[in-house]
Amino acid sequence: MCGIVGYVGSQSALDVVMAGLKRLEYRGYDSAGVAVLADGGLATAKRAGKLVNLDKELSEHPLPSAATGIGHTRWATHGGPTDANAHPHLDNAGRVAVVHNGIIENFAPLRAELAERGHELPSETDTEVVAHLLAEEYSACADLAEAMRLVCRRLEGAFTLVAVHADAPDVVVGARRNSPLVVGVGEGEYFLASDVAAFIAHTRDAVELGQDQVVELRRDEGVSVTAFDGTPADVRSYHVDWDASAAEKAGYASFMLKEIAEQPKAVADTLLGRVDGSGTLSLDEVRIPAGVLREVDKVVVVACGTAYHAGLIAKYAIEHWTRIPCEVELASEFRYRDPILDQQTLVVAISQSGETMDTLMALRHAREQGARVLAICNTNGSTIPRESDAVLYTHAGPEVAVASTKAFLTQLVACYLVALYLGQVRGTKYGDEIGDVVRDLSGISGAVERVLGTMDPVRELARSLAHKNTVLFLGRHVGHPVALEGALKLKELAYMHAEGFAAGELKHGPIALIEEDLPVVVVVPSPRGRSILHDKIVSNIQEIRARGARTIVIAEEGDEAVVPYADHLVRVPATPTLLQPLVATVPLQVFACELATARGNEVDQPRNLAKSVTVE
């Protein structure tokens, strides 16, 4: 959720921090603030609302020149989005500044304890207690990193903390527990951020931070990392394989439009290097021994939101290609229902950011029960891949818009690869069969490109429906998760009532919602593969049209049976049934984006939403 940036070097800290915060706006926030170390003291500015408000404050009341600073975009949890609750937070002497992402669960007793010792805490936040505790510890040890370690050992919850002290003008310290924080290493300058996008314009060299670790950045001495108990920590450096231009809009009106357009390349990149000429899959990142995978008797997919819909589609592929039972679970519910897991269970955790707290806690529960965990993720060095037994990276590049598009398609590709790999290892799919599917997958990039080239009628249709209050979505088989995803996109972006249903459930209740001119989007399966599915959904279209619905039909090229019953027909290239979601989802993304834009909504940063949900 919250965006965090820290800097120590020779540049203007304020310029670096503000530019970093602007790159993190996609995470969602409702206030922002900065602090710089200058002239032996701390100077701060913070304002509720968007960064433009903070920019205005800094223009009217400039901060002094400084080479060390921290900044923050806040998503309100404890206390409303006000100037007083915005970060950074200071101690009473104004010598320590702290920014924070996450929740400190035991802040109330800590706050009471500080109040008893005479501290005044004017904000409503949980963060403020950290600034006061750090000030106390620093006064005793005169070492900000040690003070941070001592404070972190007293905190409960999930948190990222970054702090500076006026008495240590060339030092920035950070700490993480169950919340993202990454180090950027430049030439004589160092960065801390909740996402590499914040410093990618300055360096692509990064350092992973592990769980329960404190990092100290010193201008002249570099980076040192320790555990909360003070023992030195092993760190892994890595190089980010995309540059600053990948996180820019490149002439598009929104990041979402850019990311929709990037989907053909993202799909192709996710397939690169993962199959040889004989059709043998080589998933180098899947480090689970083949013998272990052959013993798997159940697969459980855990995910949230759009990633959950990818998991629902994965279930069809895994069961069809491997004959292993597959369950799909909402990560937020998983560990609370006492799931049945053992050493023969493979858990597949799907997360774009690799920091989704619900998914992270689900995979930790799975590992405690002895299950093996395979992560599907888009973010190198993030927590979920690091804590999994294996990982398959999706190589989608940065996804800035809150509503996921290219991450979803690449998650689907990764799910198909996992299913095929399991089939290969277990002998349920032969090399020529895998080769056939991979060839079909390889053609999807071009198919998505063709879909994107035919979207003008979809945009026109979306604009014509901007005044509507409800849109329903129907699908069968893998079309059902596509319907759910289409409805989710419309809810996220257009703030309107949208529901996705399994078409076969119409007569079990939802058909009561059908009324005159109600838009209903129907995802039609191919008539070639499983014709019974096609015949049944055509009957569903007739049923709702007879009751006055306006039918918007997504069907493959050459399917003439749907033409008499479609008020609006959207064609997609013919694909095998299991792969159809890769092309059928794209018109729904464009539809939601255009309709939301027509309603005057901000599509990159929908209200109340954040890109990464890093608290439960």
Instruction: Determine which of 52-66, 141-155, 472-486, 522-536 has the lowest per-residue pLDDT on average.
Output: 522-536
Q: Which CATH entry fits the domain spanning 456-598: 3.40.30.110, 3.40.50.300, 3.40.50.10490, 3.40.50.720?
A: 3.40.50.10490
Mean pLDDT confidence for 13-42: 90
In the chain, ranges of CATH 3.60.20.10 domains: 3-246
Q: Which residue in this structure is represented by tokens 């005057």?
A: 600
pLDDT at 330 (0 to 100): 96
Quote the mean pLDDT of the chain: 92
Mean pLDDT confidence for 19-30: 82
pLDDT at 195 (0 to 100): 83
CATH architecture of 3-246: 4-Layer Sandwich (3.60)
In the chain, ranges of CATH 3.40.50.10490 domains: 249-442, 456-598
DSSP string, 86-137: SSPEE-TTS-EEEEEEEEETTHHHHHHHHHHTT----SS-STHHHHHHHHHH
The band of 98, judged by pLDDT with boundaries at 50, 70 and 90, is very high
pLDDT at 89 (0 to 100): 96
* pLDDT above 90: residue 449: yes
pLDDT at 278 (0 to 100): 66
Tell me the β-bridge partners of 51: none
Q: Which residues contact 154 (CB under 8 A, 6 or more apart)?
A: 106, 110, 133
The CA distance from 3 to 605, in Å, is 14
Mean pLDDT confidence for 283-296: 88
Does residue 583 sit in helix, strand or coil? helix
Tokens of 427: 């002998």
More confident residue, 400 or 592: 592
DSSP string, 467-488: T-SEEEEEE-TTHHHHHHHHHH
* pLDDT above 90: residue 23: no
* pLDDT above 90: residue 612: no
pLDDT at 217 (0 to 100): 97
Whether the Cβ atoms of residue 181 and residue 172 lie closer than 8 Å to each other = no
**Highest-pLDDT range among 243-252, 305-314, 526-535:** 305-314
Mean pLDDT confidence for 508-512: 91
pLDDT at 614 (0 to 100): 60
The band of 244, judged by pLDDT with boundaries at 50, 70 and 90, is low
The CA distance from 320 to 2, in Å, is 41
Mean pLDDT confidence for 262-291: 84
Mean pLDDT confidence for 59-77: 92
- Return the H-helix or E-strand segment holding 598: helix 581-598
Mean pLDDT confidence for 193-206: 90
Show the beta-strand stretches assigned E in 167-255.
Answer: 171-177, 182-185, 190-193, 205-208, 213-218, 222-227, 237-239
- Judging by DSSP bridges, how do beta strands 470-475 and 519-523 pair with one another? parallel
Q: Note the pLDDT tens digit of each residue in 559-604.
A: 999 999 999 999 999 999 999 999 999 999 999 999 999 999 999 9
Tell me the percentage of the chain whose pLDDT exceeds 70: 97
Whether the Cβ atoms of residue 49 and residue 30 lie closer than 8 Å to each other = yes
The CA distance from 192 to 216, in Å, is 10
- The CATH code of the domain at 249-442 is 3.40.50.10490
The band of 277, judged by pLDDT with boundaries at 50, 70 and 90, is low
DSSP string, 273-341: TSB-TTS-B--TT--S-HHHHHT--EEEEEE-HHHHHHHHHHHHHHHHHH---EEEEEHHHHGGG----
The band of 615, judged by pLDDT with boundaries at 50, 70 and 90, is low
Instruction: For 406, list phi and psi in degrees, rounded to 5.
Output: -70, -25
Whether the Cβ atoms of residue 69 and residue 16 lie closer than 8 Å to each other = yes
Helix, strand, coil content of the chain in percent (nearest 5):
40, 25, 35
Q: Which residues contact 614 (CB under 8 A, 6 or more apart)?
A: 1, 101, 102, 158, 178, 179, 180, 355, 356, 357
Within 10 angstroms of residue 286's Cβ, the number of other Cβ atoms is 20
Mean pLDDT confidence for 137-160: 94
* pLDDT above 80: residue 111: yes
Whether the Cβ atoms of residue 437 and residue 462 lie closer than 8 Å to each other = no
* pLDDT above 90: residue 400: no
Q: Note the pLDDT tens digit of each residue in 327-376.
A: 999 999 999 988 999 999 999 999 998 989 999 999 999 999 999 999 99
Q: Tell me the catalytic residues.
A: 2, 611
Instruction: Determine which of 149-153, 246-250, 284-288 has the lowest per-residue pLDDT on average.
Output: 246-250
DSSP string, 431-444: HHHHHHHHHHHHTH
